[in-house]
Amino acid sequence: MTMHTSATTGWGRSTSSHGRVIRPDSAEQWEEMMAAAGPRGLIARGGGCAYGDAAQNAGGIVALTSSTNERLEVEGDTVLAEAGTTLGAIIRALAPLGWTLPVVPGTSHVTVGGAIAADVHGKNHVHTGTFGSHVREMSVLTPALGEVVLGPESNPDAFRATVGGLGLTGVITRARLGLIRLDSWFYRTTDTVVDGLDATLESLATAARDSPYAVGWLDARTRTGIVSRADPMMPGRAAPPGGGRLPAPRMPAPTLLGRGIGTTVTVANRARLTAARLRPRSIRPLPAVLYPLDALPGWPGLHGPRGLVQYQFVVPFGAEQVLHAAMRGPARAATLAVLKVFGAAGDAPLSFPMPGWSLALDFPAHPRLASALDTLDDQVAAAGGRVYLVKDSRMRPDLVAAMYPGLDRWRAERDLLDPDRLMTSDLDRRLRLSGDGHA
């Protein structure tokens, strides 16, 4: 088991703290590490794709789950994978067999454990729900009960507390995931340019209803939107060209452009709109549809030395005034604004999606941003919406209970699995997720 004291950062590079970074090599070492964690506790860390401080633990242990072990066991319409396996590795291995994952986020570098802990969603939430809704069972090493098997039918309350539980109920070690048939390796993508937020929402709702993948993009300065949909081009021809194993995407170190980001964004937005108007249709392979964030590896670093703050929230249908307020106010400083439609909510108490509109905004980190986002937090909470905790890096703790009414239910179940609150993180302490006594 290797260990060193090091700084860990969020994917946005706007948060950082020092802890003891450990990579356990066996189940026995995981148990030894948990027994000797100390008063600052531990948090598991997979691909490091949480934008904020969910996978940081100042003064405590940050345990790495990522490994080179990508061995998968396919049985029927399920696959068994280690928690440190990336979703991209699963997609690459299963595509030649005609299977794929029902839900993936915007990057292939998220691990299985991280996808469960964040209960990630994709561009198809209306049709398929969240990642956690396709977990058949998982093994979790808990401080109180040791390693337990959790599933929707076996230990369902603990299962729901772990799905979206931000790694605070225990260390996910492996999971069996439900699969779907891969309809086509190539997708026909269609971009529709629309004027104004309301028109973008209307177009996005139609695209999300009719297509398996749909997402909206807004230029905050011009209020021009692009709604992108992707439909299978050749159903039944699922295997990638050559039918072989696909190469893993590279993730080089980010490039910092300092104060040049504003001009870069303006040019990029104009180019995107021009391309959507001149060439609205294209044929793209599945990874390009699923993983747009991998097109420019290390892109968070483009936001300068302070890093990137991503702010994602959801509000119910009928609360579109919050979206308008965001676009009139904070979004004018954003480098990217992405809209999605969410369907039915899951039953995990800390799961983010709920029926409504989701807006994700990317900002260069700056002290002046805090007050604007504080105001938007209040508007989101008043409308019955919520902020995505796994991407958060600055929200006030008093708003969590209002946004997540199942918080007390989650705390009660979490305390059965970890009564001493050994599992913790900078996010946990900052938002007082485990209660005021743990702040």
Q: Would you state the pLDDT for residue 404?
A: 98
Residue with tokens 């699995």: 417
Instruction: Say yes or no to pLDDT of 331 above 90.
Output: no
Residues of the chain with CATH 3.30.465.10: 73-182
User: What is the C-alpha separation between 406 and 399, in angstroms, rounded?
Assistant: 13
Q: What percent of the chain has pLDDT over 90?
A: 68
CATH class of 186-238+256-394: alpha beta
pLDDT-derived band of residue 256, with 50, 70 and 90 as boundaries?
Answer: very low
Average pLDDT over residues 411-426: 96
Average pLDDT over residues 35-57: 93
Paired tokens of 234: 């050749």
* 215 vs 12, more confident: 215
Instruction: Say yes or no to pLDDT of 426 above 60.
Output: yes
pLDDT-derived band of residue 144, with 50, 70 and 90 as boundaries?
Answer: very high
* 387 vs 15, more confident: 387
Instruction: Say yes or no to pLDDT of 8 above 50.
Output: yes
Q: Would you state the pLDDT for residue 296?
A: 73
Q: Would you state the pLDDT for residue 409?
A: 97
Instruction: Say yes or no to pLDDT of 17 above 80.
Output: yes
Q: Would you state the pLDDT for residue 244?
A: 46
User: What is the C-alpha separation between 79 and 92, in angstroms, rounded?
Assistant: 13
Q: What order of strands is seen across the sheet that includes strand 386-387?
A: 281-285, 186-195, 224-232, 213-219, 336-342, 356-364, 308-315, 386-387
Region of poorest pLDDT, from 30-34, 55-59, 148-152, 236-240: 236-240
Q: Would you state the pLDDT for residue 390?
A: 96
Instruction: Say yes or no to pLDDT of 236 above 80.
Output: no
In tens, the pLDDT along 164-174 reads 999 999 999 99
Average pLDDT over residues 113-119: 98
Average pLDDT over residues 359-367: 91
State the virtual CA torsion across 385, 410, 168, 394 in degrees, nearest 10.
30
Paired tokens of 309: 């703050």
Q: Which residues of 209-244 are buried (b: 16+ CB within 10 A; e: fewer)?
A: eebbbbbbbbbbeebbbbbbbbbbbeeeebebeeee
Average pLDDT over residues 184-188: 90
CATH class of 73-182: alpha beta
Paired tokens of 311: 């702010």
Assess contact for 179 and 99: CB atoms under 8 A. Answer: yes
- Secondary structure (DSSP) of 117-131: HHT---TTHHHH--G
Assess contact for 328 and 376: CB atoms under 8 A. Answer: no
Residues of the chain with CATH 3.40.462: 186-238+256-394
Cα→Cα distances 224→143, 195, 342, 344, Å: 51, 5, 22, 28
User: What is the C-alpha separation between 302 and 82, in angstroms, rounded?
Assistant: 32
> What residue type is 383 in one-letter code?
A
Give which of 151, 172, 148 is closest to 83, Cα–Cα. 172
Residues in the chain: 439
User: What is the C-alpha separation between 112 and 120, in angstroms, rounded?
Assistant: 10
Q: Would you state the pLDDT for residue 253?
A: 45
Q: Would you state the pLDDT for residue 46?
A: 94
Q: Would you state the pLDDT for residue 252?
A: 45
Q: Would you state the pLDDT for residue 69?
A: 65
Phi, then psi, of 148 in degrees rounded to 5:
-130, 155
Instruction: Say yes or no to pLDDT of 204 above 70.
Output: yes
Evaluated on CA atoms 133, 416, 111, 241, the torsion sign reads negative
Decide: helix, strand or coil at residue 360. strand
In tens, the pLDDT along 61-95 reads 999 997 656 789 999 999 999 999 999 999 989 98
pLDDT-derived band of residue 124, with 50, 70 and 90 as boundaries?
Answer: very high
Instruction: Say yes or no to pLDDT of 223 above 90.
Output: no
Region of poorest pLDDT, from 24-38, 124-138, 224-238, 312-326: 224-238
Q: Would you state the pLDDT for residue 184?
A: 87
Tell me what the pLDDT averaged over the chain comes to: 89
Average pLDDT over residues 5-21: 88
